[in-house]
Structure 1
């Protein structure tokens, strides 16, 4: 790809973000698009694969602060018509673009080439750069108690790592790879048009800097193979259902000394038969009898991981009244706990006979003059 083609690519448009997008916005958009167009999710779809390559290429540039700055400056200069390579040797109207980018004429300065920095490589060779490992995503299901109090769970993951059969060289046991004659082991070559040159991965060695003549039978010369491992992961207390947790450095291994990727764990929480969750607070519905609601009293309420607590029910408690048991909820990040929200549910017996029936009939006669619907009709008439 020529320098002209490079700067004419609108990476912001590829990702669908504005030019002033923050690194966090770029990263969030990239992850969303990468999941949507990943080859594993679109098997056999050539267009999706090509789109995934474009997205990855755009993110490689825009996620790096230095490369993004160089890219923006290059596009700004080209858009202003400041550079129009043409003619023999890339000169126009007698002006030598080579001098412009090389500091020319022995002035000792770096010229505009310093502005472009790593975008336009005139040296023809660079050291092979470390490559960060890929991020890995997985899921785990916790029961309600584990989500509230935190838990350490085993996770079995499969990711790309150095092939054990060839120790990551890609060469068959007993053989060694040779240095790529095209890039002389750098993994990158300088290609260009006229006065401009762009560093890109070497096509002959696919950016590895080495060529394998007798490939490993396990990884087929790639030096990478699927690696399964089980690791103990600590899920923090108070995690919510569908929450995504990032574990830095727990993803796939890097190449050439590169940092490992990150592990993203999506947590699913099974519901509890008695307790619910509202933020840092737990919820529970407690049935009370009519006499308890009318006369008040002390009721006993269960807690999730401890002894029951006693709450004072005020006289005349209505159905749906919510009381609070402080410090009996979910664990917060600072180690404190939320509250237990107790909702009262007044129960009505399905069958009443004997002394209970007699008492209720007497109660009905005693309260006959107290119509609970009187205010309702009065409001309806005044409306």
Structure 2
């Protein structure tokens, strides 16, 4: 990649996302940006390559661990070749981790039990629900606190003890020649504590799989991709650690009449050629349930846009509303009665060319161009 964009940002995931979330997000984005679906679009092709590179790294546990610790610097080539300048950015953090004690760094405290993972839930709503907002119940399968041991992971009447291997730090250091290497404690797996008598219900983790129902309050004015956060409703933390968060990603279903751009609503509106010529009005039923009456000026042409102020979508977490814009399409009649045809023939017989200046002007230019 020519630019070092964060891999998690490319995959639209939190850094605590589990393998399943990463895989699901990658598949969704890969389908969106695949070159076969976007022929000739160089930007989509580059985006597809970028998300593929990001997923290839993060799906591998060892590569992901290295990336989480050192970022893109973990995969930079070191050494000669080509005589070009080498990029050593980011290596100050690596040296601090390796030589921490020799360079005056302080040894970190106990990591403690790990915070629960954040979860993602995709919800589809209608345009009308996006307009008015709604409260919706969702049901998810998630790790919750074990009620038998109250999340401690230990059998009732017992307690976790400080890990003797790492002395509660969650990390151990080993000297290999000149280097001092720090890694996660293999005994407590970074928790800093061990459990001699684990809870039989959760097997020492302090959490079990549960089915939970939660209410999601969707505010008026939400748009495609709006994210609603439910704090503490994600995966339960290990052995009493804080729970992660639950993120609700909203997807607004396609509407048969309206298209949306921010707070502005667009509607392609066909009108008869007599209404276009003589003027009139149309009635548009908005997502607010109101019948909006829009006047059509005489002589309106196809493609003209007429705007109704304040008849669009509400401003998210704000005041006011956007506009409703109708895009006029003048429809030519395809089935005429004999009387209608007779009237149109009479009209054509009276035409002077001034009625349709664009048409007469076009043919005058054509005649002039060809002498």
The 3 A distance-change label for structure 1 pair 257 and 379 is: farther
Shift of 1:249: 4.3
Equivalent pair of 2:276/2:299 in contact (CA under 8 Å): yes
Secondary structure of 1:358's partner? helix
5 Å-filtered alignment, 1:338-377, equals 338-367=322-351, 373-377=359-363
Secondary structure of 2:302's partner? coil
CA RMSD of aligned residues (A): 4.1
Secondary structure of 2:60's partner? helix
Runs of at least 5 residues in structure 1 that lack an aligned partner in the other structure: 1-14, 64-68, 84-100, 103-111
Equivalent pair of 2:152/2:240 in contact (CA under 8 Å): no
Which one has the largest radius of gyration?
A: 1
Secondary structure of 2:153's partner? coil
Equivalent pair of 2:174/2:180 in contact (CA under 8 Å): yes
- What residue number does 1:72 align with? 92
Secondary structure of 2:293's partner? strand
5 Å-filtered alignment, 1:1-383, equals 25=6, 28=9, 38=19, 51-60=60-69, 72=92, 75=95, 113-114=103-104, 116-118=105-107, 126-129=109-112, 131-172=114-155, 177-193=160-176, 197=180, 199-255=182-238, 258-333=241-316, 334-367=318-351, 373-381=359-367, 382=369
The 3 A distance-change label for structure 1 pair 298 and 33 is: closer
Shift of 1:194: 5.5
Query: In the aligned structure 2, how far is the partner of 1:200 from the partner of 1:325?
Result: 64
Runs of at least 5 residues in structure 2 that lack an aligned partner in the other structure: 24-55, 73-88
Deviation digits for residues 61-82 of structure 1, max 9, x if unmatched?
669xxxxx9972562898xxxx
Shift of 1:267: 1.5
Query: In the aligned structure 2, how far is the partner of 1:273 from the partner of 1:58?
Result: 45
Equivalent pair of 1:34/1:55 in contact (CA under 8 Å): no
Secondary structure of 2:260's partner? strand
* TM score, norm. by length of structure 1: 0.67
Shift of 1:49: 8.1
Deviation digits for residues 327-360 of structure 1, max 9, x if unmatched?
0101113222100001223233332225433322
Equivalent pair of 1:163/1:224 in contact (CA under 8 Å): yes
* TM score, norm. by length of structure 2: 0.69
- Aligned pair count? 319
The 3 A distance-change label for structure 1 pair 177 and 369 is: closer
Deviation digits for residues 31-53 of structure 1, max 9, x if unmatched?
669799926777xxxx9788234
Secondary structure of 2:215's partner? strand
Query: In the aligned structure 2, how far is the partner of 1:237 from the partner of 1:342?
Result: 22
Following TM superposition, the consecutive aligned residue runs of length 4 or more in structure 1 with deviations greater than 6 angstroms are 33-37, 39-42, 47-50
